[in-house]
Chain A
Amino acid sequence: MLEETVLKQIRSIPGNKKTLGQMMNREGVAGYVFILPFLVGFFAFIIVPMLLSFGFSFTRYNILGKPSFTALENYRTMFFSDPKFWKTFGITLYYVLFSVPLRLIMALAVAVLLVKSSKLSGFYRAVFYLPSIIGSSVAVAILWKRIFASNGVLNALLGVIGFHTETAWLGRPFTAMWSLILLAVWQFGSSMLIFLSGLKQIPVSLYESATIDGASGMRRFFRITLPMLTPTIFFNLINQIINGFMAFTQSYIITQGKPKDMTLFYTVYMYQNSFTYGKLGYGCAMAWFMVLFVGAVTLLLFVTQNKWVYYEAERK
């Protein structure tokens, strides 16, 4: 009795209405507590460093000393007096422009083949996914180097079918770039899985009625599969474009930007500036330019999506 009156009195004080227990019982609290380990990591290792790098991008900073504020100096250098910046940017753009569509086409083609279930389909899916797991590793980069070497696997295979050559594929600007693009296309696994799940969402009834009407396989693919798959394609496209701009290992390990800096990716140049040349502030500015650019590209895709992405649920 006494307790209850005391509790009532406490609760009657303004701002003291809820006990801790009640606070904790609010919906969502448990969820947030559960994801706290993630949130702590997310803030400590992603948000805070991002904010710091944004700050550093306005400074001259070599890691060892103290940063000194230079306002927009880094950005000015970047845009107006560093030809290498635009060069690496162009190279990365070229890489993304070719590797992303090719990778998506490859992924879709394999997904269409694998969607028919058979006893071994699980096995095949795993096998085709493998390159993506080991994809960005250093080991694969070194493997690629051996394949395209002048005395490597590719030239040996060409020799078998009668083209005897000692071309150093990685030594020529064009072929070096395309061997990197090929590596990217080879790692289509994750997009393929997403396509697979997208393909399974397409109602079988559509195919059935189309077949009854006498539509050929090709026609069914272009008239049913592709339009129904556009949301998945859209999602994959955005993911892969972002990944493409972030490509690093390929250029860093396989070609080191050679020959003539023709395969020097933006990220590698950013890394060199930050850590090798001791211009961390400049590196941060480069990173933020990339963030804004990729953001703009993504935004553009979102804006144009109602022109070509078909959502069954929002039929107009």
Chain B
Amino acid sequence: MVRFLKSPLPFIIILKALIVKPVSRMQEACTCFGSAYKKAEYGNLYIHSKMRRFRKQQAFEIASNSVFFTFKKLFFKFLSLRFTDIMTDRIYSGGICMKKNVLTILLAVAVLAGFITGCSKNTGTSAVPKASASKVTLRLCWWGNQTRNDLTQQAVNLYMKNNPDITIETEFTDWSGYWDKLSTMASGGKLPDIIQMDYAYISQFQQSSQLADLSRFMKDGTIDISKIPESVIDSGSINGTCYALSLGSNAPMMIYDEDTIAKAGVQIPIQPTIDQVYELGKNIYAKTGVKTYYDGGVNMVQIVARAHGSHFYNEIMAGKTDSVKEHMGNVARFAKAKFSISPDLLTEKNPDVVESKPIVDQTTWNDFTYSNQFISISKTAGRKLGICMYPVPSAAQEKSEFLKPSMFFSIAESSQNKAAAAKFLNWFTNSQEANDVLMGERGVPVNSDIAAIMRTKVDAVTGQVFDYVAAVSNVAVTIDPPNPAGSGEVEALLKSTVEKIRYGDISAEKATSGFVSNAKNILTEAAK
């Protein structure tokens, strides 16, 4: 065992013991038959003189016996290949004569060939696009859930039926695996032609010139934008050039449990203030015992900053603490309140995950989310949920609600078929038949005509979302610019800082100054 541990190549020993050794033993057995046969027939040192009289058949018996013994030896050796044996065993060598060795190598080559062809078969079908003059193959890639995968695949099949000269290969994963996969593909120069893109990642991908210019296709009419609001095109544009086409509008929202509200006998205004939420929480807890959740995350602090006419990341870069200070103060105020969900329970019912959100099992009466998650939260909760806008500071100078593109389609700069991809994008956003299949699953359609028709076709819960997005679009102001590089780390920092306040480890003031200086460091570091 010690020898094994000290040996530089223990895995080779194990492999040899498991594969090479039995195989060579078997060959030994085969030749053993031949030599034993000869020995038995002609006689030599090992065989008693009387045996010389044995006829060929008896010689055969002896030979097969010796083979049997070799196999038996091998068999028991194999059985007794216990852990320690493998480790102390030395690499088997010797006992193989030349001819057998050639055979061994032939065998090995056959194994290797099988291995290689097995590999190449796998990659051959998926990675290499079929090059054909008339037929165009596009690759389409998105993140999502089972509903989205099914609907998108249906839409793609419909498109391929209508356009027989186009083949679309689809790939999908869930959100968390998607970006790892995409960045790996990007570094290999093998991005799919059409990529589902998110607002948080668009600047990162554009900066490393992975995304194709879509404005070109909008100008030449391949993508019809006559029915799409300008703000929607702007949301996918960087420095006046559009790199991503929004697939649906999304808006931040606070959701509440209708049952609890009715029991408590309170009314939720469509645009509550933070102070109102505080009072509501107090009332509801007194009457029903249901607790309140206050969002300490980046969405809330962005809303606070917007209400004062600035942007969260701009403030951080400027080293200003105003909005962060107000936000941390609010978090601390809610954390101290009796009606708030306790920090350990909140940790367990992680509101980042739809399935475990505290509103789902009525631990809290409210929660915070984006409109395109509303349908799945309603489904998980199995109850009627109400919608209102994100709470704003009482002293708000400006409106802070905004419409956010739920997700985009982008075309990869490396794509060989940009025009065909653009044509598909146009069909996906502007055609009635595509949207009849997609049913607004990616958010309210950006084409206003289509959105109006779709409103009459969707079910009650989706209708709630359509109505809410329509209501927000009346008051919405332009969204914050795409997150700067390093925003992911800043969000993580904000989360853990807010947690510390909730657990009572630090005061809001201390948290503010620490957070702002650290966040600024992260952003400047990332911008390098």
Contacts and interface: CB of A to CB of B under 8 A. Distances in A.
B525 to A, nearest CB: 8
Interface in B310-353: 342-348, 350, 352
A30 B96 contact: yes
B528 A60 contact: yes
A34 B496 contact: no
Given A30-B104, A36-B108, A63-B183, A260 B350 contact: no
A65 B210 CA distance: 9
A151 B488 CA distance: 32
B1 A34 contact: no
A85 B345 CA distance: 27
A311 B526 CA distance: 54
B148 interface: no
Contact of A33 (B94, B108, B180, B346): B108
**Which interface class (under 10, 10 to 19, 20 to 34, 35 or more) fits A?**
35 or more
Interface string B89-121: 001011010100110110011011001000000
A171 B11 CA distance: 42
B108 A311 contact: no
Interface string B354-380: 000000010000000000000000000
Interface stretch (A3-11, A21-29, A119-127, A156-164): A21-29
A16 to B, nearest CB: 20
Interface string B17-34: 001100110000000000
Nearest to A232: B1
Contacts of B348: 149-150, 168, 170-171
B5 A37 contact: no
A35 interface: yes
A278 interface: yes
Given A171-B344, A197-B84, A275-B183, A261 B105 contact: no
Contacts of B347: 168, 170-171, 176, 255, 258-259
Interface in A276-302: 276-279, 302
A2 to B, nearest CB: 24
B397 interface: no
Given A21-B102, A33-B109, A171 B205 contact: no
Among A35, A167, A201, A272, find the residue whose CB has the most chain B CB atoms closer than 10 A: A35
A27 B496 contact: no
A221 interface: no
A172 interface: yes
Contacts of A256: 350, 352
A212 interface: no
Contacts of A260: 496, 499-500, 503, 505
B12 interface: yes
Nearest to A259: B347
Contacts of A24: 101-102, 105
A65 B207 contact: yes
A64 B345 contact: no
B122 interface: no
A231 interface: yes
Contacts of B104: 30, 33-34
B134 interface: no
Contacts of B16: 31, 34-35
Contacts of A258: 347, 350, 499
B187 interface: yes
B208 interface: yes
B186 A63 contact: yes
Interface string B210-238: 10000000000000000000000000000
A1 to B, nearest CB: 23
B154 interface: no
A43 interface: no
A235 interface: yes
Nearest to A256: B350
B263 interface: no
Contacts of A65: 207-208
A24 B350 CA distance: 62
Interface string A125-155: 0000000000000000000000001110000
A194 B109 CA distance: 35
B76 interface: no
A191 B167 CA distance: 52
B204 interface: yes
Contact of B503 (A35, A197, A259): A259
A200 to B, nearest CB: 8
A278 B93 contact: no
Contact of A30 (B20, B180, B485): B20
Interface centre among B179, B344, B492 (most CB of A within 10 A): B344
B105 A63 contact: no
A170 B349 CA distance: 10
A86 interface: no
A94 interface: no
A255 B209 CA distance: 36
Nearest to B363: A150
B196 to A, nearest CB: 16
Given A30-B108, A34-B108, A35-B12, A168 B183 contact: no
Contacts of A62: 204, 208, 485
A38 interface: yes
B15 interface: yes
Nearest to B490: A277
A171 B101 CA distance: 63
Interface in B499-517: 499-500, 503, 505
B146 interface: no
Among A31, A65, A151, A235: residue with most chain B CB under 10 A: A31
Contact of A64 (B15, B183, B489, B526): B183
B184 interface: yes
Nearest to B100: A30
A172 B104 CA distance: 61
B46 interface: no
Given A24-B105, A277-B486, A64 B186 contact: yes
A278 B488 contact: yes
A168 B344 contact: yes
A65 B207 CA distance: 8
A29 B20 contact: no
A68 B20 CA distance: 46
Given A28-B93, A278-B204, 11 more contacts: A29-B105, A31-B20, A33-B109, A33-B112, A35-B16, A35-B19, A36-B112, A64-B205, A260-B505, A277-B492, A279-B526
Closest 7 CB pairs of A and B: A171-B344, A33-B108, A171-B347, A64-B208, A30-B104, A168-B344, A63-B183
16 contacts: A31-B16, A34-B16, A35-B20, A62-B208, A64-B210, A171-B343, A171-B346, A176-B347, A194-B83, A197-B82, A198-B84, A258-B350, A276-B489, A277-B489, A278-B204, A311-B2
Interface of A: 21, 24-25, 27-31, 33-38, 42, 60, 62-65, 149-151, 167-168, 170-172, 176, 193-194, 197-198, 201, 231-232, 235, 238, 255-256, 258-261, 272, 275-279, 302, 311, 314
